[in-house]
Chain A
Amino acid sequence: MAKLMDNILSAYGDYKELEDIRKYVRERAENFGLSESKVNNITLAVDEACSNLIHYNINFDAKKTFNICIVEKTNQFSVVIQDSGKSFNLMRVKCPDMNKYFKEMKHGGLGIHIIKKIVDKIEYIAATSSNKVNTLTLTMLK
């Protein structure tokens, strides 16, 4: 179960953690004063990012953890997600052509597309040999 300590929510590599993550982000975004639709969007975007991270970066390893931290500035609300798994820069992923997607009845691979559509700003810093933490920051403007 995800644990909150010193403004950092620490979660395990298990989809069961998604509900606690959403609750935390939603509550903080509401308290910050984002509009209802922006609260829904940042909550969804973080869910999608964490689902991807649990699957691809840490490969469902329930012993591994990743951290979620909220940074609030005057008019922007950021969720910083850090992990020490495989680096994966979602900004390099091409969004699908949805007409083609539907025509070919594809499924899966829409999470990143959703994040890119609903978040105001995305930043990604991949782990390096000196800093072994990947950092994804999703920001909503007020």
Chain B
Amino acid sequence: MSETKNLNIEIKEEDGISIISIRGFLDANTAPNLEQAVEDIINNNKYKIIVDFSELDYISSAGLGVFMSQIETIRENNGDLKLCRMQSKVYSVFELLGFPMLFDICDEIDQCKKKFENG
């Protein structure tokens, strides 16, 4: 678990998938912490990642940038970064710039898992 004043990050493994749960605020101040957490997973050669946003209250472009910065490496290694359980105010920031075109954004973690199972 990693925690700054405004962002809590918890990581667990289920069925060969790394699940990152984030809580708090993802902005320019806290985004480097999440970026490091994702990098650590990738450095362990794990490329199937789900991010659970259910307790994330806020995201800015710096937060969006974390996912953009890692997605190429992840997909080059036959993995994916799937996102789920966003509050509507967080989803609206993703939607604003068309991010649902690039990322699977699901209502529930199980839906993300099924998408991994189905390739």
Contact = CB atoms under 8 A, between A and B. Distances in A.
Interface in A78-107: 98-99, 102, 105-107
Interface stretch (B11-19, B43-51, B57-65, B104-112): B57-65
Interface residues of A, number: 26
A113 interface: yes
Interface in B68-112: 68-69, 71-72, 89, 92-93, 96-98, 101-102
Interface residues of B, number: 24
B77 to A, nearest CB: 14
A48 B60 contact: yes
Contacts of A110: 61, 64-65, 97
Residues of B contacting A: mostly: helix
Nearest to A107: B68
11 contacts: A18-B28, A19-B27, A19-B29, A44-B93, A51-B28, A51-B62, A54-B28, A102-B102, A111-B61, A114-B96, A118-B96
Interface of A: 15-16, 18-19, 22, 37, 40, 44, 47-48, 51, 54-55, 98-99, 102, 105-108, 110-111, 113-114, 117-118
Interface of B: 5-6, 25, 27-29, 58, 60-62, 64-65, 68-69, 71-72, 89, 92-93, 96-98, 101-102
